[in-house]
Amino acid sequence: VFKYATSYCASLALFHDLKREPEAARAKIFAMLSAGGSARPLDIMRAAGVDYQSERIYDEAFEAYRKDVEQARLTFLPACPAK
In the structure, what pLDDT confidence band is assigned to residue 2 with cuts at 50, 70 and 90? confident
pLDDT over 70 (residue 63) = yes
Query: What is this structure's pTM?
Result: 0.76
In the structure, what pLDDT confidence band is assigned to residue 81 with cuts at 50, 70 and 90? low
3-state DSSP percent of the chain in helix, strand and coil, to 5:
75, 0, 25
Nearest to 13 by CA among 24, 25, 1, 31: 25
Which pLDDT does position 1 carry in this prediction?
74
Q: Please, how many CA atoms are within 13 Å of residue 71, restricted to the half-sphere of its CB?
A: 6
Average pLDDT over residues 2-30: 93
Which pLDDT does position 30 carry in this prediction?
95
pLDDT over 80 (residue 36) = yes
Which pLDDT does position 78 carry in this prediction?
72
